[in-house]
Structure 1
Amino acid sequence: MNNISTRTLIMKREFNVKRERVFDAWLNPEMMRKWFFTLEGTNKVTRNNPQVGGTWEIVDHREGQDYRAIGEYLEIDPPKKIAFTFKMPQFSELEDTITVELQELQQGCEMTFTQVIHVSQEENWTESDVEKALGETHDGSEHGWNYMFMGLKELVETGKVSYTG
C-alpha cells in the first residue's frame, strides 16, 4: 500500500465584482465551461449538480486528447463558501479537496482558494523524492490555477474570456 503525502496550496485573488458573481462562476455550467479546467473552444462536457453530495464533471479536449476532471460537492454556503473534491482519474485515483471562500471588500470581493494536494509515494522513495514530488505537484497546480484565475477574473468582470490557450 502506497503512503500518501499532502501539501496545501493557498491562493488569494481580488475581483472588482460582488462575491455573488464569483460564486456563480464556480457553479454555473455556462460560466464553468469558459474557465474551469477548460475553455469554451476545447470543452466537450460540462456537467454540474451544485448541491452537497452532487457531482461535477469537465472534459476538455487538447492536443488530440481528452482530459477529464470530476468531483463531489462537500459544502455549499452561498455566496461565501464552496468545498468540493477534485480528481483526474486518468492520472491518479487520489482526490484533492478544494475550498473557495469569498469575502466582501469595500470594492468587490476577495477569494481565498485552498487545495489540499495528495501525492502517492512510490515504494522506494526517499524523503527528498517525496518533497520533490510534492513541490512539483504544488507548483504545477499553482501554475494551472493562475491561468484559470486570469480567465475567471476576466469572465466575472467583463462577461467573456479572451484567452484561447
Structure 2
Amino acid sequence: MTKTSVTTLIMKRKFDVPAEKVFEAWTFAEILKKWMFTMEHTNKVAKSDLRVGGTWEIIDHRNGKDYRAVGEYKVVEPPTKLVFTFKMPQFSDLEDDITVEIQPLVTGCEMSFTQEINVIHEEGWTTQDIEKAHEDWKKETEQGWHYMFLGLKELVETGKITYPSF
C-alpha cells in the first residue's frame, strides 16, 4: 500500500457578484466546462449531478491526450457551501476533499476554498522530505487553482473568459 499524508491548501477570493452566481459556476456543467480544469474549446465532457452522492466529471482534451477529473458531492448547501471529492484517475486513485464556502458580502461575495491534498511518499523519506513534498504539492496545486480562479472571476463578472495567447 502506498504511504501518504495530507497537507491543506486554503485560498480566498472576492467576487463582485452575488454568492448564487459563484455557486452556480461550481455546480452547473455548462459553466464548469468554461473554467474548471478546462477551456470551453478543449472540453469534451462536463457533467454535474448536484445532490449529495451525485457525481461530477470533466474531460479536457489537450495535446492529443484526455485529462479526466471526477468526484462526488458530499455537502450541497446552495449558495454558501459545497464539499466534494476530487481525483484524476489517470494519475492516482487517491481522492482529495475540497470545500468551497461562499460568504455573501454587502457588495459581492467572498469564496473560501480548502483542499485536503493527499501527498504520496517515496520509500525512505525523512520528516524533512515529507515537509518539502507538502510545500511543493501545495505550491503546484495553488498555482493551478490561481489560474482557474482568474478565469472563474472573469467569467462570473463579465460572462466570458478572454484566454491569453501563450
What TM-score bracket applies, with the shorter chain setting the length? over 0.9
Would you say the 8 A contact 1:75–1:83 is kept in 2?
Answer: yes
Separation of aligned partners in 2, 1:103 and 1:48: 22
Cα offset, 1:2, TM superposition: 2.6
Aligned to 1:17: 17
Cα offset, 1:164, TM superposition: 5.4
- Give the 3-state SS of the residue equivalent to 1:122 in structure 2: coil
Aligned to 1:87: 87
- Give the 3-state SS of the residue equivalent to 1:157 in structure 2: helix
- Give the 3-state SS of the residue equivalent to 1:97 in structure 2: strand
- Do structure 1's residue 99 and structure 2's residue 99 form an aligned pair? yes
Aligned to 1:114: 114
Aligned to 1:157: 157
Identity %: 59
Cα offset, 1:132, TM superposition: 2.1
Q: Identify the range of structure 1 (62-71 vs 123-132) with the bigger mean alpha-carbon deviation.
A: 123-132
- Give the 3-state SS of the residue equivalent to 1:73 in structure 2: strand
Which of structure 1's runs of 4+ aligned residues deviate more than 4 A? none
Would you say the 8 A contact 1:99–1:114 is kept in 2?
Answer: yes
- Kindly report the root-mean-square deviation, in angstroms, between the aligned alpha carbons of the 2 structures: 1.1
Separation of aligned partners in 2, 1:136 and 1:61: 26
Paired AA for residue 79 in structure 2: P
Aligned to 1:31: 31
TM-score of the aligned structures, taking structure 1 as reference length: 0.96
Superposed, 1:136-147 pairs within 5 Å as 136-147=136-147
Aligned to 1:69: 69
Paired AA for residue 88 in structure 1: M
Aligned to 2:2: 2
- Give the 3-state SS of the residue equivalent to 1:34 in structure 2: helix
Q: Identify the range of structure 1 (58-67 vs 11-20) with the bigger mean alpha-carbon deviation.
A: 58-67
Paired residues, what number? 165
Aligned to 1:125: 125
